[in-house]
Amino acid sequence: MAREWQLPLPDMPVPPPERAWRRLTAPEGYGPQWRRLVDAALELGLGPDDLAEDGLEPVAVARGWRPATVTLYSKVARYGGVALPVPRTPEPDPATLDLRPLTRIRSEDPEHLRAVAWCALALGWPAAVGQFRSLRRDQVHPSAGRLVVRTDDGEWSVPGATTAWNAWEEVRGHFPALAASPWVLPALRRGPGLDSRIGGRLSNQALQVTFTKHAVGTGHHLRATAGPRRREWAAALAETYRELSYDSYRRLSLAAGAPPVSGRGVVRAERAVAREARRAG
């Protein structure tokens, strides 16, 4: 466990930022993220004591970090010993959103088809990122126009996801490493880690990045293909997708009536439904 950073006593001089950061050790498993956090802070001349006192907002504004990124680096800072509050994940805005474009196939690219299959599954099985990271192919069973997901926690029926699932399964079958992988969402290329391999299990962070890339790409596609009457709709949806995180996508699925997979996010989804009901009334 990293030693927690302590603010200097009133009568003690504040050490220079670079020296202050050198006193702390990168948390295990988060070396690259720690270096990026330190570099971003040093660009503004901030040391650990500045972050502990003022939070990450100055760095986030300077770097243009999104809420999910701020949450990640807050966690990394805390693991490294800098006591920062973890920002609360913002409620999805709007509380309801057309998510179907994210489940539609537009190319044969494996990365695209993997993301489409994920989004299609999540509309009926709105699991957290960590649960999708560990979901195995033998836990997903195609059946009469729907997929059945069976885990130790129960069984879920997911309608409308078979087209995306079959397209992803067919394409991954062309690549031996992907065809042999037991994971529903395997790595498509090697990463920086020593244990990383094609077909291996992705990290939570890699999956978050994958979803963000897919959401932004879908928005660009909507803008490029929308007819004159739908350009305004496409532009508005693309702008919302640009800021959409998987956590918000999952809560929107729950708010739309998907059965919960775990307790996380259910209360916030119920509040979103209640807000929409009050507006409609």
What range does the domain containing 216 cover? Answer: 100-280
For residue 126, what is the domain's CATH number?
1.10.443.10
**Banded pLDDT at 153 (limits 50, 70, 90):** confident
178-202 pLDDT, tens digit each = 999 999 999 998 876 667 789 999 8
List, for residues 108-127, the tens digit of each pLDDT value.
999 999 999 999 999 999 99
Q: Are residues 43 and 129 in the same domain?
A: no
Give yes or no: residues 70 and 122 share one domain: no
Asked if residue 92 has pLDDT above 60, the reply is no
In terms of domains, do 164 and 226 share one?
yes
For residue 95, is it within any domain?
A: no
Looking at the structure, do residues 110 and 58 belong to the same domain, yes or no?
no
- Regarding whether 163 and 34 lie in a shared domain, the answer is no
In this predicted structure, what is the pLDDT of residue 185? 96
Contact 251, 264 (CB under 8 A): no
> Does 141 lie in the same domain as 68?
no
Same domain, 63 and 190: no
Among 12-16, 32-36, 234-238, which is the least confidently predicted range? Answer: 12-16
pLDDT for the residue 5: 53
Distance CA 218, CA 116 (A): 10
Q: Are residues 171 and 62 in the same domain?
A: no
Structure confidence at residue 276 as a pLDDT band (50, 70, 90): very low
Number of domains forming the structure of the chain: 2
Question: Does position 272 have pLDDT exceeding 50, yes or no?
Answer: no
| Model pLDDT for residues 238-261, shown as the tens digit of each residue | 999 998 999 999 999 998 888 888
Reading across the β-sheet that carries 154-159, which strands appear in turn? 140-143, 146-151, 154-159
**Does residue 104 fall inside a structural domain?**
yes
Average pLDDT over residues 60-89: 79
Query: Is position 91 within any domain?
Result: no
Q: In Å, how far from its chain's centre is CA 181?
A: 22
Quick check: is 164 in a domain?
A: yes
pLDDT mean over 20-40: 89
How does residue 73 score in pLDDT terms, banded at 50, 70 and 90?
Answer: confident
140 and 241 co-located in one domain: yes
| pLDDT at residue 6, as a whole number | 52
Q: Are 5 and 52 in contact (CB under 8 A)?
A: yes
What was the pLDDT predicted at 183? 97
What pLDDT sits at residue 270? 47
pTM of structure: 0.63
157 pLDDT band, cuts 50/70/90, is very high
User: Does 252 lie in the same domain as 201?
Assistant: yes
Both 73 and 115 in one domain: the answer is: no
Q: What is the mean pLDDT of residues 80-96?
A: 63
Categorize the per-residue pLDDT at 267 as very low, low, confident or very high, splitting at 50, 70 and 90.
very low
